[in-house]
């Protein structure tokens, strides 16, 4: 009876919230869990779960995995809204199950918050876990980067039978494999990107074992790459599934080669940036661990065009609007590097919020290399700041070397979009999470914008 009541309440609340134009996932899940605390365990019974966690790339990797499963004809659902805490994941299962708690699908692809993983993993039988990477993120929530690693490790301890897909290029992620009984599948990028990332700060410059500074055969970005400790020998393991060729990268896509179990396949990632190459190979590792063919994986990569706020693109007349979510220094630097290395003239919009979902500590923006934009100043057709902490963003740009007259501050998103569109240029919007939701809402008044759960 508790399951039935919890299901009724969750579905009804989700319907009402979505009818009101809201996502309607976390609140229904919280209410359902109050009625039936073990609801997720019941709903997850007989569902084969692929779970994706890590700092950057969870949403995009999850969606590519889902596309792969669907292309293979598998029955699956996912938490597409990105609600990745225990309540949101529970609601996702609830909305895809009958009132009695029986799932309508045999598989689930679940994006899970790093800190929530240790709780979520207690309730689900997880077949595959993908750890995308570990970076410094939301200091008010996660604290030091080793705390994030420890939270993920606690979740992995609850999944002794799962195949673990780990990023071979991330020294912190590789360290998770120690003393675990699981089968490990490493993925990674075997060569540097065609862009200069040498000036980027490293979140893990020193060996996690002996504290000696890492040496690198090559770097991709941040602390990712062919790391090796000259002190104790701790080093990057060989990747089972690896990007072995990068033939082209631009502001829209990348042409790559992925080698899987000794065979190389050409694939196109229809998303911009080196970080999306990592998302692609992470998704390929999950799909391959579940027996999917390279043809299916390539088809999924070719068809996937991005989820809400993650390189999401809207066409507006002869120009376009691209939304690229930012949330930490490493990810922000990757987006700026992409912008600096593409030839497009564009209007840039930075929208910074400090709400709970964004992270209330915004000091991380001072570790972002905004200075690199000075080298393409002639290609920036407008520079705008917005959001709750727009003043701090404007100040950061001033210290980066931009004149105060270069930066226009507009808090109202409707006015911001109208002003940015005036010149008919391409617009690149870089918002934090809640700013992204608000901007998408404003865009929905003038463009066909999908709901975040679609």
CA 118 to chain centre: 19
**Tokens encoding 60:** 């995009």
* 279 and 315 both lie in a single domain: no
* 22 and 165 both lie in a single domain: yes
Please tell me the least confidently modeled range out of 115-129, 196-210, 214-228: 196-210
Which residue did the predictor score with more confidence, 389 or 453? 389
Count: domains in the chain: 2
Averaged pLDDT, 427-452: 88
pLDDT in the model for residue 23: 65
Residues in the chain: 454
* 177 and 158 both lie in a single domain: yes
Q: Is residue 452 part of a domain?
A: no
Averaged pLDDT, 255-276: 92
Asked if residue 383 has pLDDT above 70, the reply is yes
pLDDT in the model for residue 352: 97
Q: How far apart are CA 454 and CA 450, in angstroms?
A: 6
Please tell me the least confidently modeled range out of 84-93, 143-152, 256-265: 143-152
Domain range for residue 429?
310-443
pLDDT in the model for residue 200: 66
The last residue of one of the domains, among 268, 303, 338, is: 303
pLDDT in the model for residue 75: 94
Q: How far apart are CA 142 and CA 138, in angstroms?
A: 6
pLDDT in the model for residue 198: 46
pLDDT in the model for residue 207: 95
Averaged pLDDT, 230-256: 94
Q: Is residue 448 part of a domain?
A: no
Q: What is the pLDDT of residues 95-118, one digit of tens each?
A: 999 999 999 999 999 999 999 999
| Mean pLDDT for all residues in the chain | 91
pLDDT in the model for residue 310: 77
* 294 and 314 both lie in a single domain: no
Averaged pLDDT, 348-368: 93
The last residue of one of the domains, among 279, 303, 327, is: 303
Q: Is residue 451 part of a domain?
A: no
Q: Is residue 450 part of a domain?
A: no
Q: What is the pLDDT of residues 285-342, one digit of tens each?
A: 999 999 998 889 999 988 888 777 778 888 877 778 999 999 899 889 989 998 988 8
Q: Is residue 269 part of a domain?
A: yes
* 274 and 365 both lie in a single domain: no
Q: Is residue 123 part of a domain?
A: yes
Q: Is residue 406 part of a domain?
A: yes
pTM of the predicted structure, to 2 decimals? 0.91
Query: For residue 343, what pLDDT band results from cuts at 50, 70 and 90?
Result: low
The last residue of one of the domains, among 303, 331, 357, is: 303
Q: Is residue 454 part of a domain?
A: no
**Tokens encoding 222:** 């941040």
pLDDT in the model for residue 199: 55
* 143 and 261 both lie in a single domain: yes
pLDDT in the model for residue 248: 87
Q: What is the pLDDT of residues 131-142, one digit of tens each?
A: 999 998 655 444
* 279 and 153 both lie in a single domain: yes
Asked if residue 143 has pLDDT above 60, the reply is no
Please tell me the least confidently modeled range out of 27-36, 104-113, 141-150, 258-267: 141-150
* 247 and 314 both lie in a single domain: no
Query: For residue 254, what pLDDT band results from cuts at 50, 70 and 90?
Result: very high
pLDDT in the model for residue 168: 98
* 121 and 194 both lie in a single domain: yes
pLDDT in the model for residue 141: 47
Over pLDDT 90: what percentage of the chain? Answer: 74
* 20 and 84 both lie in a single domain: yes
**Tokens encoding 119:** 């709780």
* 278 and 357 both lie in a single domain: no
Q: What is the pLDDT of residues 403-422, one digit of tens each?
A: 999 999 999 999 999 999 88
Q: How far apart are CA 245 and CA 454, in angstroms?
A: 33
Q: What is the CATH number of the domain that holds 43?
A: 3.40.1190.10
pLDDT in the model for residue 357: 85
* 169 and 272 both lie in a single domain: yes
């Amino acid at each position: 009876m508790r399951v039935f009541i919890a299901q009724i309440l969750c579905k009804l609340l989700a319907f009402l919230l979505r009818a009101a134009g809201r996502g309607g996932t976390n609140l229904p899940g919280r209410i359902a869990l109050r009625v039936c605390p073990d609801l997720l365990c019941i709903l997850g019974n007989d569902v084969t779960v692929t779970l994706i966690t890590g700092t950057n790339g969870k949403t995009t990797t999850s969606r590519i995995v889902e596309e792969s499963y669907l292309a293979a004809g598998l029955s699956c659902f996912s938490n597409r809204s990105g609600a990745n805490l225990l309540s949101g994941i529970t609601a996702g299962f609830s909305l895809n199950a009958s009132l009695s708690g029986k799932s309508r699908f045999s598989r689930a692809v679940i994006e899970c918050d790093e800190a929530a993983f240790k709780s979520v993993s207690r309730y689900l039988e997880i077949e595959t876990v993908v750890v995308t990477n570990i970076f410094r993120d939301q200091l008010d929530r996660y604290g030091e980067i080793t705390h994030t690693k420890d939270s993920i490790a606690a979740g992995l301890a609850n999944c002794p039978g799962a195949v673990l897909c780990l990023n071979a290029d991330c020294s912190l992620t590789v360290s998770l494999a120690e003393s675990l009984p699981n089968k490990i599948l490493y993925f990674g990028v075997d060569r540097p990107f065609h862009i200069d990332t040498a000036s980027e700060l490293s979140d893990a410059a020193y060996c996690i074992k002996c504290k000696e500074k890492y040496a690198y055969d090559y770097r991709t970005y941040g602390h990712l790459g062919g790391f090796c400790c000259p002190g104790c020998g701790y080093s990057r393991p060989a990747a089972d599934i690896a990007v072995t060729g990068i033939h082209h990268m631009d502001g829209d896509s990348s042409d790559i080669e992925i080698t899987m179990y000794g065979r190389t396949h050409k694939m196109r990632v229809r998303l911009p940036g080196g970080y999306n190459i990592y998302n692609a190979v992470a998704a390929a590792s999950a799909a391959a661990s579940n027996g999917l063919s390279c043809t299916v994986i390539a088809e999924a990569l070719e068809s996937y065009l991005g989820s809400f706020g993650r390189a999401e693109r809207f066409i507006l007349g002869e120009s376009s609007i691209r939304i690229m979510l930012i949330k930490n220094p490493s990810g922000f630097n990757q987006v700026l590097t992409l912008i600096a290395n593409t030839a497009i003239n564009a209007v840039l919009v930075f929208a910074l919020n400090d709400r709970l979902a964004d992270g209330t500590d915004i000091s991380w923006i001072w570790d972002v290399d905004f200075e690199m934009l000075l080298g393409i100043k002639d290609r920036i057709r407008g520079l705008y700041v917005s959001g709750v902490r727009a003043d701090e963003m404007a100040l950061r740009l001033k210290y980066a070397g931009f004149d105060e007259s270069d930066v226009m501050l507009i808090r109202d998103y409707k006015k911001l979009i109208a002003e940015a569109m005036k010149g008919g240029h391409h617009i690149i919007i870089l918002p934090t999470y809640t700013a992204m939701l608000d901007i998408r809402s404003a865009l929905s008044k003038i463009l066909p914008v999908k709901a975040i759960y679609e």
